[in-house]
Amino acid sequence: MTERSLRGDTRGLLLMLGLPTLGLALAAGILTTYGPVVLLKVAHSPARVGALIGGEGAFALAIPLLAGVLSDRLPPSPLGRRLPFVFLGTPLVIAGLLLIAWSPTYAVAGLAVLLFFIGYYLYYPPYRALYADLLPLQLQPRAQGSQAVYRGIGLGVALMAGGLLLDIWQPLPFIIAGGILLATTLTLSPVVRARADCSGSATGSDPTTTVGSLLRNRRMMTFAGANAMWEFSFAGLKTFIVLYVVKGLGRSPAMASAVIAVVAVAYIGGAPLAGRLADRWGIVPVMTWAAIVYGLGLCVGMIPTTITPSLVLLPFVALAGAVLLTLPQALAFTLAPAGGQGAAAGLVDVSRGLGLVLGPLVVGVAVSGSSSFLTATHGYAAMWPVIGVAVLLSVPLLRRLDPSVSTALSLGGTRSPASSSSP
């Protein structure tokens, strides 16, 4: 398949590649949003429920990088290098979902969450590396924008439909999530068959990347540090935004839902915009300006003590955040050593795990320590500068990355990732 024919069939290819993202996002959304409702019956404590669900960050610190590196080095097979990990992870995720729905004890619930996240992180990095296997570098920003739309749709469906399904029958949302994940995963089979004829791939032919070599790659580590800060900010925001609206501003849970809806709409709208902007101006410049706008906007969020100014500011800040959070994987692929796209995808999830672990913890400490002087919001306004400064601290790291990466992509270059990464 030539690059021209690949471009001509981009929409169909992105459709098949993106559907598993929808299934994964739906499954994760059901687990993290409605799983606690079920788990509370066996855990008997919100703290114990939080300890179970919060294990996601811990698993993200080890499994994704190993899965990604191994998928780069797996010998050829009829399933390719990536699908063995995808097909191994799928039944574990589904088993975790079903086991949660019928957990009789806390120990069984813990096993269910364990199975889910092991499967999830075995599946995700090798799956995302398929984007680098099948698409040339200059299409990566657009591809990641498309993937982000599927992610937003999956999460939105989980949030909106999960509660209704749970009222009908407690296991129903978990069964449906598992079925949709299985169906969307099966769409990858024809994609992998097409890979054999694809010559426009960004993947090198000599996968020699190891965990050690990746950790010694200064530019990849710079990227990982920046990505951890973005995920730190996003995790802190997700954890405390409802409490900020309900406890800090004294508004109803319905108003908190409206705020989340605004963020979701901005995310879905900003994802394809991110790809188009990166095509025109390059990944690094677009992410740099998005980080500046997003970080400053978050810091300003500390000032209002009523909901109206927040609602006026929120769409613009959320749009900048959507642009910023759409492009990290595309940037990782451009920086990855030749043949190391699976490792790069794993590194994204490892750095994400750091943010997931630290974001809620640091924001929670800041809120607790600020209640005595941020009395108008009972300390919850402290969330905004903490997550805003984290984003702004990523700007110098972005500027350290070689501008030629973004220049080459904006000019439609197809150079190997190896030429844009040096240990």
CATH classification at residue 106: 1.20.1250.20
pLDDT, position 212: 66
197 and 241 in a single domain? The answer is no
162 and 258 in a single domain? The answer is no
* Most confident region among 41-50, 130-139, 147-156, 201-210 by mean pLDDT: 147-156
User: Which domain does 178 fall in, by range?
Assistant: 3-203
90 and 231 in a single domain? The answer is no
287 and 405 in a single domain? The answer is yes
How many angstroms separate the CA atoms of 346 and 129, rounded?
9
pLDDT band for position 190 (50/70/90)?
A: confident
Q: Is residue 417 part of a domain?
A: no
229 and 193 in a single domain? The answer is no
Whether residue 288 is predicted with pLDDT greater than 80 in this model: the reply is: yes
Least reliable range by pLDDT among 35-49, 68-82, 203-217 = 203-217
If one compares 412 and 263, the residue with the highest pLDDT of the two is 263
154 and 271 in a single domain? The answer is no
319 and 383 in a single domain? The answer is yes
Q: Is residue 29 part of a domain?
A: yes
Q: How many domains does the chain have?
A: 2
Is residue 366 within 8 Å of 254, Cβ to Cβ?
no
158 and 245 in a single domain? The answer is no
pLDDT band for position 406 (50/70/90)?
A: very low
Q: Is residue 421 part of a domain?
A: no
Tokens 């995963």, located at residue:
185
If one compares 191 and 198, the residue with the highest pLDDT of the two is 191
pLDDT band for position 307 (50/70/90)?
A: confident
Q: Is residue 68 part of a domain?
A: yes
Q: Is residue 155 part of a domain?
A: yes
Q: Is residue 298 part of a domain?
A: yes
265 and 185 in a single domain? The answer is no
190 and 245 in a single domain? The answer is no
How many angstroms separate the CA atoms of 157 and 25, rounded?
9
Q: Is residue 167 part of a domain?
A: yes
78 and 147 in a single domain? The answer is yes
pLDDT, position 54: 67
**Domain end among 182, 203, 224:** 203
Q: Is residue 208 part of a domain?
A: no
Is the pTM higher than 0.85? The answer reads: no
